[in-house]
Structure 1
């Protein structure tokens, strides 16, 4: 056992292959170097959010104007195997999904330990094992029904998404040099285990250690990641710049610092991604208390063509191509249903239109959440790209986005009774799935993950606080939402499910006076961490180590 990085979680089959003494020492070195800066950026986030809530408008930073106006610098760009990213499939790293993603025919697999994964200890370590095996082509799976899954000849390039800076891993206890103990950083654990075990193997196989970086809010957070990458390359003895990252622009503060984020990561950067669902959630979270002008209508009405989303995506493409970076589109939530041809036809139509718009706007690739959508998405990008691997050389000099356009929240739509009820039902059913360890759930023919569920619960909180009245004349109150929650429970509760726990979470997330910054923080601590692990952490914590972002001020 490593003296300062202790495993508190239970041992599962083959866990010792991932949680080796050498890997734990590597995690300790990452924490020693970077955990203090992690705490600083989380504090800065809360200060900025408080300022926005109090009326400060976001702006392009005057202190970094020289970076934006310097025409010379470029990012490192695509690493080996990342030149063509026209279709990327996203999904968690359970055994079956790993094989299905690797056999999907997509160019890239976003192997997700963030919004599409419920961070149970079994999922966190088991996902690392599945990735370890997949990279070495030794992964297989037999379903309970006896169906066997094996890897095909052609497999996608893996880009791994660790948890965001705000999340912790309580099943590992880190003690710093002065002797203060607390939970490990989820980001450093996920990144560190993947890089330690797989970097050299990936390089030998003609690829490399590639990452998606979630939830960034500033260029200073990008600088922290860049330093993590450089330090890791030094420790592992691989050339500087081998690690490549694609940053998700999925928060409204980050939208004002896209160019600076690219600049900070320029030696390691492959591109930016338009993380649409978390971006909408970030808008609601940051402006939730600033009046009716910042109150959005039904979730279904917030499409990619509304003014603030259009400005955001056009700025992203223009910024990326100006600096030689890939611009990767987001995920349409529509998914096919193999038992319902009408649902499938509607999903394919919606996805086709979404990807046609992205390819036409200059995106170099896009996400899908289901293998049956790959051909549809690919066809739209093939029509624009042809034999070219990307369209990074397509400059968008016609794009000139001003700060006010990024927060132009005017949308042709209203809050409806059906929209309120849908948000309650989605939040309940998604959280119930998440508590059972399933972080990507098909609900009403849409793929829901933590980001889409965040929109549903944060809209409920905002509508209650703003005294919103629906199109039909119903005032959205805590009592009304409680009644809808009771109705949803009566409709969906099962004997073997976690619906009562999920309902308790919905009440805390949507009905409480304070606004929880992320639904995953409290849900993780209360329901996914074994009581004995919590007791062990509390017994040894000897100082104020923050465990996450907590609740908004």
Structure 2
């Protein structure tokens, strides 16, 4: 480490190899006519927000470890709880904040009324309602991934510095000259925005062949970019301030702003961010302070740096009105999704034996509690985004479609299953679009009245229709796949019923008819949407009715009924087959991480599809399996442990072995059988690769590492909130140190770790590993 290019009295140290590889990212720059210094800014912002981050993460752990009942510790905030206003510096009570939201919805001018983006207007190119379609996320390193993102027909792109690219992680055995992905992605963005890759090919060797990539689209047709920085719990080892790692949020927002603002402005765009993992107004205040300080440094009006927010934590939902209020100068919309959100719900109920979730594979975005979550998100965006009766200043954003298509060259010919993925994309986005149709009647409707979309559009009922969910997420840039998702989001509202009622058309997938992309609804699809109140008995779209009289007081908005609808665990079974499936997904993704691959498509033997996994899917599976072992939960349905079998789709888990009867407890012994059968599958999978002569893409020696890690983690009484952090620690460790590090993370109390490190009985990094994995800060309660 050595100081950066700025004032040496500002103790910001950039690791030597980062400065050597990426010198253009750092130092003194002129941005928007102002002279700024990257290192000085990182140091100043870090010092300003580091105490607030430590306090916020301590609050997270206190809540996570609280023994209070779930309905008590995760209740709506007290009405008299107060929050700091970043605009005025005064404090507002939660009641005042929610009352201001209600007043905006009712169109009442009061001292408490507030709405989103009222100071600095939203630019057209980033407006969530003016740019309907998909938001594509993924890393911008290697460079071909950035090119693919810009060539995509998705109107929004999120360069991912969060789930897909932890900054400090390079697996044991990585060449020492390999660049760190986060900084390589920042360098790629800077060069692309400055025009250095315009018209130039980028050649890369893949699978023994040289392939050239180009940016095919003109800059004015590129998707709008919203950089996705890490949340407040992530620190960057490569950048230190006063001898401690700097917050990743500070590093990324500073580097992205200073290196890209001028080039983006020249292209008619701007600096925008997608903020993940916020759980409280206190955490939102950290984000607001960083962005408002950056605006001041480069001479931009407050609220110019716009953001979207991933509403992916159950804990965030209970205080979401206050989070929106803190970010009101810049927040464009809040996103909903299954992955981290489901993991957070499992986490909320982890200590309650009556709150064990059913098989997570059965909990999709159409599950009743997920429907309630999406509707709550849309409702708050409506109430906070209304201006002159129109949803003008914000909009809700849908979640990730994670199934992916197979390429034609798949060795087992599994591209035959692609119609399933394409249809899943269409239905996912159709459901979201219909969920976002909210009708505010001019006068109270008769009890039980449910006007159809046709009634509203024809003016047979008077009021205002709001068409809210016009953007949603996607994980893959393939044109056919993106087009399938774009179509429902971009269709005119008057065309939606026709899409549902279109003639049915099917493709044959192994003898079964699967609706095509353009097909009308199948009976099963129609029945599901009817059961969720999106269609009436005749299959007609029924927008949700948002009655003013039902929301004219804070207590009506944040009622116990709404809390129960969102947070009560859904009903369903715990089956041994899905336990094995969850372990399969966790182990396979963990293996990918240990090999340095953060966004990994896993072959899902149940869905017959590729399923995109990242840190959030790992969180779901590990949290759920841990809770089953922790409570020795009962299997609720007769089933079978399954062994590996070679099929036309490759080696899969699917041959019935031992019976497991309903009522059987998921004991450590039963877990051991699940573990052993997956180990058997792993060996058979590698043997099949060898038989076929397939080149090995990944280091097989990582397989026993993930197996041992999962065995230790799932049998440990210690719950780990950020499950994947263990992967990062162990993945970088030598074989000699892995066992002692796992002891420190899963078993030993912190004072004993301190003593053992001091006495040389644990490696020096054991204490740092424990504190990193568990978000422990020096001086904070432990």
Q: 1:351 aligns with which of 416, 425, 433?
A: 425
- What TM-score, normalized to structure 2? 0.64
Q: 1:406 aligns with which of 563, 566, 588?
A: 566
1:39 is displaced (CA, Å) by 0.5
Q: 1:342 aligns with which of 416, 420, 431?
A: 416
2:164 aligned residue: 116
CA RMSD across the alignment: 3.1
1:158 aligned residue: 225
Q: 1:244 aligns with which of 296, 306, 310?
A: 306
**What per-residue deviation string (whole Å, max 9, x for no partner) do you get for residues 362-382 of structure 1?**
112100111232111111112
Question: SS of the counterpart of 2:49?
Answer: helix
Q: Distance in 2 between matches of 1:366 and 1:162?
A: 19
For structure 1, list consecutive stretches of 5 or more residues without a partner in the other structure: 176-180, 388-393
Structure richer in helix, relative to its length:
1
2:729 aligned residue: 525
Q: 1:220 aligns with which of 255, 268, 282?
A: 282
2:210 aligned residue: 146
For structure 2, list consecutive stretches of 5 or more residues without a partner in the other structure: 29-36, 81-93, 105-112, 171-179, 386-393, 409-413, 437-468, 496-542, 551-556, 604-609, 639-660, 687-697, 736-740, 742-756, 758-762
Question: SS of the counterpart of 2:396?
Answer: strand
Asked if 1:97 corresponds to 2:145, the answer is yes
Q: Distance in 1 between matches of 2:590 and 2:166?
A: 10
2:236 aligned residue: 169
1:263 is displaced (CA, Å) by 1.0
The answer on whether the counterparts of 1:321 and 1:395 sit within 8 Å (CA) in structure 2 is no
Report the more deviating stretch, 501-510 or 183-192: 501-510
Q: Distance in 1 between matches of 2:328 and 2:614?
A: 30
The answer on whether the counterparts of 2:337 and 2:365 sit within 8 Å (CA) in structure 1 is no
Cα distance change of structure 1 residues 483 and 12 upon mapping to structure 2, 3 Å threshold: farther
**What per-residue deviation string (whole Å, max 9, x for no partner) do you get for residues 13-64 of structure 1?**
7422224473222211111111111111101111222336554242332131
1:65 aligned residue: 95
Cα distance change of structure 1 residues 220 and 69 upon mapping to structure 2, 3 Å threshold: same
Cα distance change of structure 1 residues 547 and 460 upon mapping to structure 2, 3 Å threshold: closer
Structure 2 matches for 1:187-226, cutoff 5 A?
A: 187-226=249-288
1:165 is displaced (CA, Å) by 1.1
Question: SS of the counterpart of 1:348?
Answer: helix
Question: SS of the counterpart of 1:183?
Answer: strand
Q: Distance in 2 between matches of 1:488 and 1:33?
A: 48
Cα distance change of structure 1 residues 518 and 243 upon mapping to structure 2, 3 Å threshold: same
The answer on whether the counterparts of 1:166 and 1:548 sit within 8 Å (CA) in structure 2 is no
The answer on whether the counterparts of 2:132 and 2:489 sit within 8 Å (CA) in structure 1 is no
Structure 2 matches for 1:316-335, cutoff 5 A?
A: 316-324=377-385, 325-335=394-404
1:405 is displaced (CA, Å) by 1.5
Structure 2 matches for 1:5-16, cutoff 5 A?
A: 5-8=12-15, 10-11=17-18, 14-16=21-23
1:86 is displaced (CA, Å) by 2.2
The answer on whether the counterparts of 1:317 and 1:396 sit within 8 Å (CA) in structure 2 is no
Q: Distance in 2 between matches of 1:548 and 1:174?
A: 20
Q: Distance in 2 between matches of 1:102 and 1:529?
A: 36
1:528 is displaced (CA, Å) by 4.3
Q: Distance in 2 between matches of 1:322 and 1:81?
A: 23
The answer on whether the counterparts of 1:521 and 1:550 sit within 8 Å (CA) in structure 2 is no
Q: Distance in 2 between matches of 1:529 and 1:97?
A: 29
Q: 1:415 aligns with which of 574, 577, 587?
A: 574
Report the more deviating stretch, 216-225 or 18-27: 18-27
The answer on whether the counterparts of 2:358 and 2:570 sit within 8 Å (CA) in structure 1 is no
1:286 is displaced (CA, Å) by 1.7
1:6 is displaced (CA, Å) by 1.8
Cα distance change of structure 1 residues 108 and 483 upon mapping to structure 2, 3 Å threshold: same
2:760 aligned residue: none
**What per-residue deviation string (whole Å, max 9, x for no partner) do you get for residues 131-164 of structure 1?**
2223234345312022111112221011111111
Q: Distance in 1 between matches of 2:306 and 2:564?
A: 32
Q: Distance in 1 between matches of 2:162 and 2:729?
A: 16
Aligned length: 537
1:511 is displaced (CA, Å) by 2.1
Cα distance change of structure 1 residues 529 and 207 upon mapping to structure 2, 3 Å threshold: farther
1:410 is displaced (CA, Å) by 2.5
Q: 1:282 aligns with which of 311, 321, 344?
A: 344
1:481 is displaced (CA, Å) by 2.7
Report the more deviating stretch, 237-246 or 15-24: 15-24
Q: Distance in 2 between matches of 1:228 and 1:395?
A: 38
The answer on whether the counterparts of 1:118 and 1:438 sit within 8 Å (CA) in structure 2 is no
Cα distance change of structure 1 residues 237 and 12 upon mapping to structure 2, 3 Å threshold: closer
Structure 2 matches for 1:247-266, cutoff 5 A?
A: 247-266=309-328
1:547 is displaced (CA, Å) by 4.2
The answer on whether the counterparts of 2:722 and 2:773 sit within 8 Å (CA) in structure 1 is no
Q: 1:426 aligns with which of 585, 599, 618?
A: 585
RCO higher in structure (CA 8 A, sep ≥6): 1
Cα distance change of structure 1 residues 52 and 233 upon mapping to structure 2, 3 Å threshold: farther
1:546 is displaced (CA, Å) by 6.4
Report the more deviating stretch, 111-120 or 344-353: 111-120
The answer on whether the counterparts of 2:336 and 2:399 sit within 8 Å (CA) in structure 1 is yes
Q: 2:706 aligns with which of 502, 514, 519?
A: 502
